Structure 1
Amino acid sequence: MTNAKPRAIACWQIIGCFLIAPIFLMSCSAHRRAVSKAPGIRLISNNEASRNNDIIKKERKDAIAAFVPYTVASYIDRFKTIAIKEMNLYGIPASITLAQGLFESGFGNGDLAKIANNHFGIKCTSDWKGRSYYRDDDQVNDCFRVYDNPEDSYRDHSEFLKRKRYAPLFELDKNDYKGWAYGLKQAGYATNPKYPDLLIGIIEKYHLDQYDRPEGQIQKIKREDRVLAQINQNIGKAVKDSLIQSTPSAKLYTIKTGDTLYNVSRRFGLTVDELKALNNMSDNIIKVGQTLIIAK
């Protein structure tokens, strides 16, 4: 009698792995993130990619050697807390985050998860400053983000979704996992037409919606206002970065100690308002090292 419960749990875990395995095999062959190589991400040769990946593997040699494979149950137990935390911060249903993590990472046992701590298959973008890991995906040697720990991957997943095309999703209730599943597909998160059904299937099979929480109307409004303001700020930064990247260096100026917006504008024959308009600025705050456009 004393061994009945452990045996039951073990059987459930084994059955769960077999049930979910076909879904993850489908994800490897059919799922494709609709984020291809971003502008500013250079192509890399096979030799460069191999050397880079060897360095990453060497740095994480001990962690990889000590890695204990997850079951579906242990993966959920390991990451449910941070999924709930992200839900409370941004309104992304914890069930959606967990389902995507399970789906994208092969419940934590895929190479990207083991080697790069990347549980969502998020690729490098032009503003990514961290380390990179290369593997073939949409293109040869696609660049994927490397994280210090899986929790950083979960946090970056939330940050990744704070983009213009996903903005309408943050107006949904934070326990509306079906709305989020279909909304992600509609916004272009994945090209697989069955992606919403795959996520919903995982959520309902493993009862992940038990971690979702409703919110009051006032809470919802405050969260929406906060998150949408952050998304608008990200959009403004992206526009500014794009302008700077496409502007010849002769029309750029780097802020030095002692500079103010006023004296920079006078130096280049502009008004403060003209300088702000050129740089898509909403205030007069500048920082040492910041790049400004000083001519059209």
Structure 2
Amino acid sequence: MKKGMDKYPKKRKRKSSKIVKSLPIISILLIIASTIIVSTLFKEDFKKIENEISRVLNPNLKFIEDVSVYAKQNYQEYGILPSITIAQAILESDFGRSALSKEYNNYFGIKSINKDEKRVIFSTKEYVNNNQIEIKDAFKVFDSMEDSVKYHGLLIGTAKIYQKVVEAKDYVEAANMLYECGYATDPAYAQKLIEIIEQYKLYEYD
């Protein structure tokens, strides 16, 4: 009797042990299956959440997204490549961290030639005969980022001097034309824009 009783619990114990051992594997499989189903059903929602998290964690990406909204509008209205507009805003304002952009919404270093308009005097670096010098100059003041980007579009899109920028077939040519047309005095201006565009894949906005 004792022997029979000893064998029976042992068998039950082995079955129970097998079930317990298989539980982690079943749990993992269920988690994987659930993840696949949920990710398939809500793929777009996850992408939106992922993008939003990236924007919060990386202020540079948020700045790019903010400027791109108005850059695309400039493209529709004037034909200016969004990658060029965004890259200029990045370069000229240091992702919106410069005093001129933070305090006066001037994201493109646009100077003022009208004494009756909103303007501010700032120190700026210019190149004369390939030598960098610092001077004080007047810059336009804008009410918002939107106003700043729209004015940039108006300037590049309608001023005859920048016609070659608008007609450029790609961002490389447009960047070079900006320098040749006199937008900036920095000899490396075009190359800096191109590097920014390629680093942040801004050509995807074109």
Tell me what 1:136 maps to. Answer: 123
Q: Which amino acid aligns with 1:145?
A: K
SS at match of 2:110: coil
- SS for the counterpart of 2:120 is strand
- Correspondence for 2:80: 92
Q: Conserved in 1, the CA contact under 8 Å of 2:164 and 2:174?
A: no
1:158 alignment partner, one of 150, 153, 160: 153
Using the size of structure 2 for normalisation, the TM-score is: 0.65
Q: Closer, same or farther in 2 for the Cα pair 1:141/1:195, shift >3 Å?
A: closer
Which structure is higher in strand share?
Answer: 2
- Could you give the per-residue CA deviations for residues 39-91 of structure 1, whole angstroms, max 9, x where no partner exists? xxxxxxxxxxxxxxxxxxxxxxxxxxxxxxxx211101111111111011101
Query: 1:197-212 alignment to 2 at 5 Å?
Result: 197-212=191-206
Q: What is the percent sequence identity of the aligned residues?
A: 36
* 8 A contact 2:179–2:190 mirrored in 1: yes
CA displacement at 1:184 relative to structure 2: 0.7
Shift of 1:129: 4.5
Distance 1:150 1:9, change over 3 A: closer
Distance 2:187 2:65 in 1: 29
- Give the residue type in structure 2 aligned to 1:131: K
Map of 2:71 onto structure 1: 83
Q: Distance in 2 between matches of 1:152 and 1:129?
A: 18
- 2:146 aligns to what SS in structure 1? helix
Gaps of 5+ in 2: 1-49, 127-133
Q: Which deviations, in whole Å up to 9, do the C-alpha atoms of 1:73-120 show, x marking residues without a partner?
A: 110111111111101110110000000001100101110011111000
Q: 2:154 matched to 1:167? A: no
Per-residue deviation, 1:134: 1.1
Q: 1:118 aligns with which of 106, 111, 127?
A: 106
Which whole-Å CA distance do the structure 2 matches of 1:103 and 1:80 have between them?
Answer: 15
1:122-145 deviation line (CA, Å, top 9, x unaligned): 01013x753111112256541111
> Which is higher, the Rg of structure 1 or of structure 2?
2
Amino acid of the residue matched to residue 143 of structure 1?
A: A
Give the secondary structure class of the aligned counterpart of 1:103.
Answer: helix
Q: TM-score, normalised by structure 1?
A: 0.46
Q: Is the 2:54–2:61 contact (alpha carbons within 8 Å) kept by the matching residues of 1? A: no
Match of 2:196, SS state, is: helix
Equivalent pair of 2:78/2:166 in contact (CA under 8 Å): yes
- Is it true that 1:147 corresponds to 2:135 in the alignment? no
How far 1:171 moved relative to its partner? Answer: 2.4
* 1:130 counterpart SS class: coil
Aligned residues of 2:119 and 2:140 also touching (Cα < 8 A): yes
CA distance in 1, matches of 2:197, 2:98: 20
Deviation at 1:9, TM superposition (A): 4.3
Q: CA separation in 1, counterparts of 2:54 and 2:160?
A: 43
Q: CA RMSD in A?
A: 2.3
Q: Distance in 2 between matches of 1:74 and 1:186?
A: 30
Task: Tell me the distance in 2 between the aligned counterparts of 1:147 and 1:93.
Answer: 22
- 5 Å-filtered alignment, 1:1-296, equals 9=54, 13=58, 71-126=59-114, 129-137=116-124, 140-161=135-156, 162-173=158-169, 176-212=170-206
